[in-house]
Amino acid sequence: MSQLSTRHLLGIKDITETDIRLILETTTNFKEVINRPIKKVPSLRDITIANIFFENSTRTRLSFELAEKRLSADVVNFSSSTSSVKKGETLVDTVNNILAMKVDMVVMRHGSPGASHFLSRNIKANIVNAGDGTHEHPTQALLDAYSMQEKLGDLTGKKIAIIGDILHSRVALSNIFCLQKLGAEVMVCGPITLLPKYISSLGVKVELDVKKALEWCDVANVLRIQLERQQIKYFPSLREYSLYYGINKKMLRSLNKEIVIMHPGPINRGVELSSDAADSEHSIILNQVENGVAVRMAVLYLLAGIKS
């Protein structure tokens, strides 16, 4: 099978293990492309892609734009802060106006969970979810899985700990779905106030002690505290959070094995991860950034072959 089972990438929950493995295999081909002296291929020539971002983004937006340009697509960038959304225009009207200009694919980030699903029922273009509120961030989970696979090989039976603000993280949910479909064991770790009530129903282990989580895992995927999404205080202070849940080089050295450190970015250095840990030989954080471009090239390339 060389085609995805869906014409949108709305979330990891909505795609199959076969889809995930096809994307990861295609990523390997595109990683070779982006490391050539000439980093461009004509795969999406004559395809127009609109990047529609209703929330701030640096890595994801740049990564998608670079992926699109590496594939020779025509790119349109939209920012809600300078658009008619400020004048009261609805999401569907905004996107339909963009599609009237003959856009083939939409990459969208939105603050409301389910926004990309809603849009997929109302427009004909292929949609890639670049993050919808606290719901899902599928391409981040795919690039995380690819980075782990690159480092550890097949993920079947591997132990992955997701540590930090699980409650407000779209990365955590997508990673859980993706890793479980690839056969990995998943543990979540953080203060009990930052763990969703339903979390154990997802089939993951739950740990409140970060040292025990590090001793258990092969990979620690560390998440930042998402203060911008928190309406109330979930812990006394960042200093206290860092004291109990911050990971540093000394902690990593004290383990009786080597583990891999990951982070989806942006890193709050000195809070969830110290600089000496983030920049250590354990870290593959910059590999994640590089792999993000190749994964997004693979997703766009595969979706472009599926029309309504």
The confidence score (pLDDT) of residue 15 equals 97
Q: Is 135 annotated as a binding residue?
A: no
Answer yes or no: is 70 a known binding residue: no
45 labeled binding residue: no
When pLDDT is cut at 50, 70 and 90, the band that residue 20 belongs to is very high
Q: Class of 138-286 per CATH?
A: alpha beta
Residue 275, amino acid = S
pLDDT confidence of residue 228 = 60
SS3 236: coil
111 marked as binding residue: no
109 is in an annotated binding site: yes
First-to-last C-alpha distance (Å) of the chain: 19
Of residues 297 and 56, more confidence is placed in 297
Equal CATH topology for 8-137+289-305 and 138-286: yes
What is 8-137+289-305's CATH number, 3.40.190.10, 3.40.50.1370, 3.40.605.10, 3.40.1000.10? 3.40.50.1370
Is residue 282 marked as binding? no
Domain ranges of the chain: 8-137+289-305, 138-286
Q: In what order do the strands lie in the sheet with 185-189?
A: 205-207, 185-189, 159-163, 219-222, 260-262
pLDDT the model gives residue 124: 87
Does 183 count as an annotated binding residue? no
**Could you report the per-residue pLDDT of 210-227, keeping only the tens digit for each?**
999 999 999 999 999 875
pLDDT of residue 98: 84
Q: Is 157 annotated as a binding residue?
A: no
In the predicted model, is pLDDT for residue 85 greater than 80?
A: no
Helix (H) or strand (E) holding 240: helix 238-245
Greater pLDDT, 228 or 183: 183
pLDDT of residue 236: 66
- 265 has binding-site annotation: yes
140 is in an annotated binding site: yes
Q: What is the pLDDT of residues 168-210, one digit of tens each?
A: 899 999 999 999 999 999 999 999 999 999 999 999 999 999 9
